[in-house]
Amino acid sequence: MQLYALDWWIIGGFFAFTLAIGLLVARRAGRSNEDFFLSGRDKSWWLLGSSMVATTFAADTPLLVTGIVREKGVAGNWMWWAFLITGMLTVAVYAKLWRRSGVVTDNEFYELRYSGATAAAVRGFRAVYLGLVFNVIVMANVTLAAIKIGEIMFGFSPLETILIASVVTVIFSTLGGLTSVLITDFVLFIVAMIGSIGAAVYLLGEPEVGGLTSLLSHPAVQSKMSMFPVLDFSTTEGLNLTMTILILPLAVQWWALWYPGAEPGGGGYAAQRMLAAKNESHATGATLLFNAAHYAFRPWPWILIGLISLTVYPSVSDIKQQFPHVSANIVNDDLAYPAMLQRLPAGLLGLVATSLIAAYMSTISTHLNWGSSYLVNDLWKRFVSKSATQRELVLVGRASTAILMLLAALLALQLQSVVEGFGLLLKIGAGTGLVYILRWFWWRINALSEIVAMVVSASLTAAFFYANKAPSNPDQIGDAAGWWQAFVMPDWSQTLIIVLATTVCWMLAAFLGPTESEDTLRQFCSRIRPGGPGWRRVVDKAQQEGQLMGLSNSWNMPIQIVFMISGCAAIYGVLFATGYCLYGQFMQAVIAVALAALGTLILALTWKGVASGEA
């Protein structure tokens, strides 16, 4: 692919902008731990929400969607569309609770909710588990996408791509902290959306495609167009597909699986944005904006390019033949996205290249800042240097940012498929979601419950992963060593087993394990004001002893559930209306628009009952 002078000017101007932002806000970010990781806790909903959206628009996201469309059709996106239910639950219930907590990281929450050495152990363990291990896996998957894009669009080797992409990201992330991330994210999201829409519109006009009508009549495309999978339980292939892309996501995945940006009960970098909001209402508004933009406004340019790619590169072998210089181990269906982009003209190519660089940098910068906040606040400050000065904490944060990037780059060189990495991340958190939801509203959840959930889920995931990778030939492994073959089964079966086993184990730990101290539970009620029947025992006992007397009953779960359902209706309505309009199915589009309008009306009517204050 040849990039012209105009393309390089666009890319160079973008790099200069991000570095300038980092330099401009570096002084403020270096004042304190909260300034570096929470940007002073005074940010508005629109800035925080757009930052969440930009973060989830990673360099691997369009590749992931393209791979899904090519392999499973448009309906395959229910693998991540179902997470809207999780997101709207966070909007309706958990956003304001996180803002009330006043913690610096969601890991600090553990010593607010639980007590004693066990609480400290969970906090320290998750600082390493999420801030280091899990976070590095996510960044490595995103960096793998950057490597694929770099090879196709620029002819860079994997090492060259990593060096160029990561150096600038690390510089502005270490200088400006969360403030620089938020400001650049707002611009990055706009650039990324313009680039993806522009690419889709231009590629529709390619001679092999012949416009939207011609595309949708192409035989390879027609079999992939449906937004809902056909329920087929009569064949093994049909059963596996139906369970993987519809039944499991809608029935189990949204409440049972933990995934960055779609954590049941909130958490991760989404919680970091809620904690940086100026008040509870802005935290709620930010998460609502994020879910609307992430699920309703963004997917269709990527889906269209995925469908277009089927007319140009019907199979993986066609991609391999077109790009023989690309490393064979990374040639998969997800490579079709950057393969299509090489057809763009000067100017638009530079803009799209910049949008992908922006997508990569926005995600990586967030994960660097978020992961570093765990290592600094929940590991260094809590266990290593309890009397650390603010200057020391900022320095440690900047150093850990660079180390996280280095580890992610090294791991990225070992990965092959973005879709494979997505599936692995889903399994690692399978079964832990319900405990993260209930811990806010049920006093019986204890720290041991969370430890058991993480250990069981991770152990079973490792066993299934090993079984899938291990050789199946007895001559290779020996009869006695083939016990793990019992773990070889479809992905959806593996996920259900992990969820069931993990849930049973952590519930046993909750009922049979030690309860948290009464003082800790009462302090949690006083600060968070969760309300509801799950805390009645704690509140009643405290009030009999003259405590928590002024605690108001803030339980309004019925209206929050209505808000959540109407939000899902509104956002899904816009998503489907857009698709039906593109397909030329206008009667279905009208029905979807009516659903979206009704959902939006109910959102407006119930807003005051959900969010505190005014956003």
Percent pLDDT > 90 in the chain is: 33
Average pLDDT over the chain, rounded to an integer: 84
Give the highest mean pLDDT range of 122-126, 188-192, 276-280, 505-509: 505-509
pLDDT digits (tens, 9 = 90+) for 119-154: 998 888 888 888 887 788 888 878 887 887 787 777
Tell the residue number behind the tokens 């989830």, with chain if given. Answer: 56
For CA atoms 374, 376, 380, 383, give the dihedral sign: negative
Q: Look up residue 435 and give its two tokens.
A: 């405990």
Using CA atoms, how far apart are residues 108 and 382, in angstroms rounded to an integer? 9
Would you say residue 230 has pLDDT above 70? yes
The answer to whether 193 touches 298, Cβ cutoff 8 Å, is yes
Nearest to 100, CA basis, from 564, 551, 568: 551
Would you say residue 285 has pLDDT above 80? yes
Would you say residue 482 has pLDDT above 70? no
Predicted local distance difference test score (pLDDT) of residue 213: 92
Would you say residue 2 has pLDDT above 80? no
Would you say residue 65 has pLDDT above 70? yes
Tell the residue number behind the tokens 């902008």, with chain if given. Answer: 17
Residues 6+ apart with CB under 8 A from 32: 390, 393, 394
- Domains annotated on the chain, with CATH: 1-73+93-225+240-428 (1.20.1730.10)
Predicted local distance difference test score (pLDDT) of residue 52: 87
Would you say residue 602 has pLDDT above 90? yes
> What confidence category does residue 483 fall into, taking pLDDT thresholds of 50, 70 and 90?
low
Helix (H, G, I), strand (E, B) or coil at 561: helix
Number of CB atoms found within 10 A of residue 345's CB: 11
Predicted local distance difference test score (pLDDT) of residue 474: 47
Using CA atoms, how far apart are residues 14 and 350, in angstroms rounded to an integer? 10
Would you say residue 262 has pLDDT above 60? yes
Predicted local distance difference test score (pLDDT) of residue 613: 43
pLDDT digits (tens, 9 = 90+) for 292-343: 999 998 899 999 999 999 999 998 888 888 888 777 767 788 888 888 888 8
Predicted local distance difference test score (pLDDT) of residue 423: 64
Bridge partners (DSSP) of residue 6 are none
Give the highest mean pLDDT range of 226-230, 410-414, 442-446: 442-446
pLDDT digits (tens, 9 = 90+) for 486-514: 556 777 888 899 999 999 999 999 999 99
Q: What are φ and ψ of residue 273, in 5° steps?
A: -70, -40
What one-letter code names the amino acid at 423? G
**Arithmetic mean of pLDDT, 259-263:** 72
Query: 196-200, 413-417, 554-558 — which is least confidently predicted?
Result: 413-417
What one-letter code names the amino acid at 84? L
**Arithmetic mean of pLDDT, 258-267:** 77
More confident residue, 414 or 251: 251
